[in-house]
Structure 1
């Protein structure tokens, strides 16, 4: 299903790892000390809290630093993405396609250092609100009517309904499709590429995440180009 001149469609990626994590380790000072990210990504976290006066109320609001670190949760609003870690989940939201390489590089560095972290699985998720030159009904018919074209792309054992579940390389792909609640005549597309881990460590992430992301993006954009037509508009940052 390789396509020539496929336009970049995917603009955001959510990385999620499931396992057992220690959120308190991932302090901005730890990221800086181990050079996980360029300093410009982290420096804003160390800024002094800002004070904003509201004259009409006679009040002053103090805006705190842009991070939270505790034994149960760490949330860092970095320049290029948001890192959120709990005891069970490690999650990065990246809203800029050109920052995907930085996201992947930081994931590799973190899990090389924390190599004994027990991880059960991870996912690469693309959530997009997009308007195409095909109508919602036309796209729905392309995806959710059992045709030879569907079987050719997804395989004879694929399950077709309001979602499609199939294998793509080493991943189990779950694809959801529905009308967009934030874009007139748009569609909401949700792709989850799920990778299970047989060993209780991080090696499978460090070794394969770069190629897995590349393959996931290629598959997704080829698929959307084939079934949805040309992208007219893509909803920007939604978080």
Structure 2
């Protein structure tokens, strides 16, 4: 398995109460969150009271009444994307948020079709599916671990592995590093949840790298 991702992506998702119509390129520019020229050159799909969608050269932003998401597949802009999120909701510090998650994803190419299948069988053995399928194959697998130390009792990390939709004989590994408020917490603004996200930004990518490297190491140690 080639350990260096051919495509990396970062998708940050916030859940809460939003006013989609507010989030326009011009609004971001008015607060100096993006440049004036960048705002003028943005490709706007829709700015509406229920949903706003637009693209900058380096990222895509989509906002609905209960979800804000921003993503990029340009690794050089990962830090800028995180900064934009934290700066935006520092400005909008009265916005009620209930959860935030950083979704790190990488597409990795197997050296052969045989290795590609072997990795799938490593994660999802064929034997439990005997006499159910004539020829089973892993489509997607998702594992979750409670992550109380990094965040809170409601924080967790989810790892999803599937066939890549970008690479032939490729594997997509996604790590969702998630933080949510306690179930009975009063959502009085977003200062605390944004601070928690900011404090863990360095560790978040490191956890993604650790997951990927450990998966590949464990796979290499399996007798072929």
Question: Is TM > 0.5 for Structure 1 vs Structure 2?
Answer: yes
Q: Distance in 2 between matches of 1:11 and 1:167?
A: 25
Deviation at 1:144, TM superposition (A): 5.1
Alignment correspondent of 2:145: 166
Specify whether residues 9 and 186 from structure 1 end up closer, same or farther in structure 2 by C-alpha distance, changes over 3 A only. closer
- Structure 2 residue 67 is the aligned partner of structure 1 residue 89: yes
Q: Distance in 1 between matches of 2:205 and 2:121?
A: 23
Check conservation: 1:10, 1:126, Cα contact below 8 A: no
Alignment correspondent of 1:30: 27
Alignment correspondent of 1:43: 40
Look up the SS of the partner of 1:71 in the other structure: coil
- Structure 2 residue 178 is the aligned partner of structure 1 residue 194: yes
What are the within-5 Å matches in structure 2 for residues 113-124 of structure 1? Answer: 113-124=91-102
Check conservation: 1:10, 1:217, Cα contact below 8 A: no
Deviation at 1:9, TM superposition (A): 7.3
Alignment correspondent of 2:196: 208
Specify whether residues 133 and 225 from structure 1 end up closer, same or farther in structure 2 by C-alpha distance, changes over 3 A only. farther
Check conservation: 1:197, 1:204, Cα contact below 8 A: no
Indicate the RMSD between aligned Cα atoms, in angstroms.
2.6
Specify whether residues 29 and 163 from structure 1 end up closer, same or farther in structure 2 by C-alpha distance, changes over 3 A only. closer
- Structure 2 residue 73 is the aligned partner of structure 1 residue 76: no
Work out which structure has the larger RCO, using CA pairs closer than 8 Å and 6 or more positions apart in sequence: 1
How many residues get paired? 190
Moved more, 13-22 or 194-203: 194-203
- CA-to-aligned-CA distance 1:32-57 (integer Å, 9 cap, x gap): 11111233432303xxxxxxxxxxxx
Look up the SS of the partner of 1:74 in the other structure: strand
Question: TM-score, structure 1 length as denominator?
Answer: 0.69
- CA-to-aligned-CA distance 1:179-238 (integer Å, 9 cap, x gap): 234422211222222210244121134313234332121112122123226xxxxxxxxx
The answer for unaligned runs of 5 or more in structure 1 is 1-5, 46-64, 146-160, 230-239
Check conservation: 1:40, 1:79, Cα contact below 8 A: no
Moved more, 187-196 or 86-95: 187-196
Q: Distance in 1 between matches of 2:111 and 2:190?
A: 42
Of 139, 159, 184, which aligns to 2:119? 139
